[in-house]
Amino acid sequence: MPRADEIDAGDSAVLAAVVAALPEPLIVTDRAGSVLAFNSPALSAWPGLGRGRPLSLAVRSPEVLAAVDRLQRGEERATAQYAERVPVERIYEVVLSVVEVRTAEGRAPTFLLAFRDRTEQHRLDMMRVDFVANASHELRTPLASLLGFIETLQGPAREDASARERFLQIMRQQAQRMARLIDDLLSLSRVEMAEHRRPETPVDLAAIASQMVDTLRPLADERDVVISFSGPAGGAIVPGDRDDLMRVAENLIENAIKYGQSGGRVDVSVAIEDESPGRQQAILAVRDYGPGIAPEHVPRLTERFYRVDTGQSRGQGGTGLGLALVKHVVNRHRGRLTIESRPGEGAVFRVTLPAGDSVSRA
């Protein structure tokens, strides 16, 4: 009776077939560490692999080779982590085990190296760590300033009425900034949690955008920005979440007014277009004529807390979370966000959502 960890189908051809069928990299070596078999995912990860060649020439990882060494010294199983940072980051968890295989020469112990790709998981872990660090840092700054002013008011400025007024005003701003940050963090986590549920209620994207233009007109007036709106006469119905789409329009239009103020003009438009025959899409475009955004920043704008100029963003009451929120809402609606900008010529933020027609067919 073969043991459970022995391959007993008679020959190494079975092993080769199993190796070939597995979707993740797998390498088989003999006891000496010479490669016997590998599959194509392994070959694309380590192009230096070749039958009969030492494993150490292709997979240059001290940790993996140390684990092979442990098997050679009699251990049945070992694990290792394979990490490579250049040219691209790749992280694998490697499980090494010993399997008896019958070959022409008789039974021989062979080593199986099974790789599991953990790159994505690792990236997500790092993002989470960064996120917590960033969020704490963003909250700590206004908190430290609040504490400082409280101490001053309790001590040196106790009897100074005019200083008190001034400090209270600043404290109020700092507290409002913390409140905004927490509101944005909560909205972001709410949208993220709902991301897999696509909204279905028909809403009018044109009405939402036009309402937001009216709401933000006082802000535009305050900054001498002329804001215009155009939309299709019959509206632009999309399956959507009204509150979330309001936030999208609010963030994009507010950014255009704030960061594009020097252009003096913001154009908001909603249009319905044919995506393909019988399928329509609604497009919300927000265009400003301000300084624009340098190309190296554009792909990163939707990252949480990413800002071209942190001081400027904070000065405008920004949290650095607005576009991250926009992107999540757009994803939830199975839409697209595109950003076009040429420095000096302003920027256009476009949100494209599948419109009513395509949904009723889906």
Closer residue to ligand ADP, CB minimum distance, 67 or 256: 256
Distance CA 11, CA 101 (A): 7
Q: How far is the CB of 247 from ligand ADP (least distance, A)?
A: 11
What angle is formed at CA 349 by the lines to CA 288 and CA 261, rounded to 5 degrees? 25
Beta bridge partners of 289: none
Distance CA 79, CA 116 (A): 11
Q: How far is the CB of 258 from ligand ADP (least distance, A)?
A: 7
Distance CA 283, CA 315 (A): 31
Closer residue to ligand ADP, CB minimum distance, 244 or 288: 288
Q: How do strand 6-7 and strand 90-103 relate by DSSP bridges? A: parallel
Between the alpha carbon of residue 96 and those of residues 49, 77, 78, 197, 311, the distances in Å are 17, 6, 5, 40, 51
Closer residue to ligand ADP, CB minimum distance, 45 or 248: 248
Q: How far is the CB of 293 from ligand ADP (least distance, A)?
A: 5
Cβ neighbours around 268 below 10 Å, total: 24
Beta bridge partners of 283: 271, 352
Closer residue to ligand ADP, CB minimum distance, 50 or 299: 299
Closer residue to ligand ADP, CB minimum distance, 61 or 174: 174
Q: In what helix (H) or strand (E) does residue 94 lie, and over which residues does it extend? A: strand 90-103
Binding site for ligand ADP (CB under 6 A): 251, 255-256, 259-260, 288, 290, 293, 301, 307-309, 313, 318-324, 347
Q: How far is the CB of 345 from ligand ADP (least distance, A)?
A: 11
Considering Cα of 56, then 58, then 63, then 69, what sign does the dihedral take? negative
Cβ neighbours around 116 below 10 Å, total: 13
DSSP 8-state symbol, 89: -
Tokens 């001034």 sit on residue: 166
Closer residue to ligand ADP, CB minimum distance, 102 or 327: 327
Report the SS3 class of residue 74: coil
Closer residue to ligand ADP, CB minimum distance, 199 or 318: 318
Closer residue to ligand ADP, CB minimum distance, 293 or 359: 293
Structure tokens at 152: 């001053």
Q: How far is the CB of 126 from ligand ADP (least distance, A)?
A: 20
Q: How far is the CB of 305 from ligand ADP (least distance, A)?
A: 8
Q: How far is the CB of 230 from ligand ADP (least distance, A)?
A: 19
What is the per-residue burial (b if ≥16 Cβ within 10 Å, else e) of 279-308? ebbbbbbbbbbbbbbeeebbeebbbbbbbe
Q: How far is the CB of 251 from ligand ADP (least distance, A)?
A: 5
Closer residue to ligand ADP, CB minimum distance, 29 or 313: 313
Q: How far is the CB of 151 from ligand ADP (least distance, A)?
A: 29
DSSP 8-state symbol, 203: E
Closer residue to ligand ADP, CB minimum distance, 151 or 195: 195
Q: How far is the CB of 319 from ligand ADP (least distance, A)?
A: 5
Residues 6+ apart with CB under 8 A from 221: none
